[in-house]
Structure 1
Amino acid sequence: MRALPEGLDAARLCQVWIVTRADGVTLGFTDHDRDLVVDGVTCRAGGGWSPGARETAAGYAPGQGAALGVLDDAGITEGDLAAGLYDGAKVAMLQVDWSAPSRLVRLWTATIAAVSREGQAFTATLAGPLAELDRVAGRTFTRLCDARLGDARCGIVVPPDATCDKRWATCVGTFANGVNFRGFPTSPGEDFLTLYPVEGERNDGGRR
């Protein structure tokens, strides 16, 4: 448990959540019985926010948590959630002295990884800062295509009932789309590491 800085009285503390969307919009919520201004952000009372279950990160594990809330026309709205405006939003949780909101302690920061809804309530799944270590960056070099059939990288209009097994032969033979193939069909496989010249065979590099 984090120790409180000197001068903070646990009896006067409340929870505050500050949410910053990717478009720069910032919203604040508190479990106190009246609105508070914290770090220049008006944190609304009665916004329905409360902490859910939290999984503490161990070592380099990313750690996850949840925040529970209620849809509210003056706060987080159904339309904004549906539009994905809170995807990737930053959430900071603080403990604040409600009698002097400038006196506070920051508990943690997280990113909204997913939002699920049930009626007028929602649950935001929060990923800790180390979750960035799990993010896949760049491309995987494989013989198979990594585009999705019909997407912008694939570039074709999908015929009815078409499926694609991601192979070069299928891309060329079935869809005549070799120019947009997003794999590396001539890449050597794992067995390439174990190959060696064999006496009496044709050792011209054609066998991979």
Structure 2
Amino acid sequence: MRAGIEAGFAGHIASGVTTLCHCWQVTRRDGVVFASTDHDVALHFDGVTYRANAGLSAQALAQTSGLSVDNTEALGALCDDAIREDEIEQGRFDRAEVQAWLVNWAEPSQRVLQFRGSIGELRRAGGSFRAELRGLTEPLNRPLGRVYQKPCSAVLGDGKCRFDLSTSGYIAERVIEAAQEAQYFRWGAFLGFEEGWFARGRLDVLDGPAAGLWGMIKLDYFKGAERVVELWEPIRGPLPEGTAVRLTAGCDKRMETCRLKFNNLINFQGFPDLPNEDWMMAVPRSDGANGGGSRR
């Protein structure tokens, strides 16, 4: 089927008289799809309708045959019924999947996929936005392999850690009683978890206009009779009173925490017995141990 589409498109190009346009499809990580075209009427293929006059255009695409990163930029206008400024601010388009098609608008079955990748840096100003598009080779720039360090290198609950966060006692769901600047949360009655239990964990918004957003927890402490949870950065969305949130226990990556808090030492991904820098300075001496420190 794909070979037939490409053959038909090649035949259209070879005819010398073309009816071409561009189509873009943006699929966010929450499953919301945005599709647009620079043609003057909407197009439909693969079960997706590409809206016309959506204010989206693209600059020249740089592509290579090696492992260098393919990249381009998409330019567009912010409008309420398409890509909104508040959703960009909330990070809902971060790492969204992008597909760019060159299409024969007179026969949409004749088309070729020009670019596939994800959204990188997003900038907005004056009612418009500029999105960096990164190709499929972008992940090859990430370093691979383990790091030799004392703290654990795994993320709590991932495939290396293997800890089941759904285990009772590691997740708490509450409704917001008081929130200041979408960064400081207070509860009058929040028992059953010791102080600091959720520090280095995360707070997920479960419903309301900010549903799907989350933040990393910086501090978790008692202030008088209140429980206070402070995030590193504010949630970038409205959080009215009564919004449901989920708090997940945090991990400071130490071996003692892995053993005592999570009982998961068998999956600890650090190297706690690595010698420190003082050990590297140690030299033999006749009068006792030399730990590398200064002599007194």
Q: TM bucket by the smaller chain?
A: 0.5 to 0.7
Deviations 1:100-144 (A, max 9, x none): 112111112010112110121101111110111123567633357
- Which structure dedicates a bigger proportion of its chain to strand? 2
Work out the number of aligned pairs and report it: 185
Q: Is there any run of 5+ residues in structure 1 with no aligned partner, and where?
A: 159-176
Ranges in structure 2 where 5+ consecutive residues have no aligned partner: 1-5, 156-198, 203-215, 221-253, 259-268
Aligned equivalent of 2:274: 187
Instruction: Identify if the C-alpha distance between structure 1 residues 201 and 11 changes in structure 2 by more than 3 Å, giving closer, same or farther.
Output: farther
| C-alpha distance 113-102 of structure 1, shift in aligned 2 (>3 A) | same
After superposition, the C-alpha distances for 1:81-112 in whole angstroms (9 at most, x for unaligned) are 22222111111111111111121111120101
Contact 1:155 / 1:180 at 8 angstroms: preserved in 2?
A: no
Q: Which residue among 10, 19, 33 is the counterpart of 1:5?
A: 10
Could you tell me which residue of structure 2 aligns to residue 20 of structure 1?
27
**TM-score, length-scaled by structure 2:** 0.50
Residue in structure 1 matching 2:201, options 152, 159, 183: 152
Contact 1:57 1:64 (8 Å CA) reproduced: no
* Contact 1:19–1:91 (Cα < 8 Å) also in 2: yes
Counterpart amino acid of 2:131?
A
Residues 157 and 86 from structure 1, CA distance in 2 versus in 1: closer, same or farther, beyond 3 angstroms? closer
CA contact (8 A) 2:77 2:127 kept: yes
Equivalent in 78, 88, 97 of residue 95 of structure 2: 88
Which residue does the alignment assign to 1:142?
Answer: 149
Q: Identity over aligned residues, as a percent?
A: 34
Q: Which has the higher contact order (CA 8 A, sep 6+)?
A: 1
Partner of 2:129: 122
Alignment counterpart, residue 36 of structure 1, candidates 24, 40, 43: 43
- Residues 1:199 and 1:65: Cα distance change in structure 2 (over 3 Å): same
Q: Evaluate the alpha carbon distance shift between residue 7 and residue 53 of structure 1 in structure 2; reply closer, same or farther with a 3 A threshold.
A: closer
- Kindly provide the amino acid, as one letter, of the partner of residue 55 in structure 2: G
Q: What's the offset of the Cα at 1:58?
A: 5.6
SS in 1 for 2:116: strand
Distance 1:50 1:155 in 2: 38
Q: Distance in 2 between matches of 1:76 and 1:126?
A: 16
Provide Cα deviations, 1:33-92, integer angstroms capped at 9, x if missing partner.
111113221111111111125443462222322111111222112232222221111111
Q: Confirm or deny: 8 A CA contact 1:142 1:183 kept in the other structure.
A: yes
Q: Distance in 1 between matches of 2:148 and 2:141?
A: 18
* Residue 159 (structure 2) aligns with: none
Change (3 A) 1:71 1:151: same
- Range that drifts further, 83-92 or 129-138: 129-138
Determine the structure 2 residue equivalent to 1:98.
105
Q: CA, structure 1 residues 185+53, in 2 after alignment: closer, same or farther (shift >3 Å)?
A: farther
Letter in 1 for 2:201: A
Q: State the alpha-carbon separation in 1 of the partners of residues 69 and 277 from structure 2.
A: 31
| Alignment partners' CA distance in 1, 2:81 and 2:144 | 37
Contact 2:255–2:272, Cα closer than 8 Å, also in 1? no
Q: 1:26 to 1:11 in 2, by over 3 A?
A: same
Alpha-carbon distance between aligned partners in 2 of 1:137 and 1:11, rounded to the nearest angstrom: 45
The amino acid across from 1:116 in the alignment is R
Structure 1-normalised TM-score? 0.68
Describe the shift of the 1:143–1:78 C-alpha distance in structure 2 as closer, same or farther (beyond 3 A): same
SS in 1 for 2:132: strand
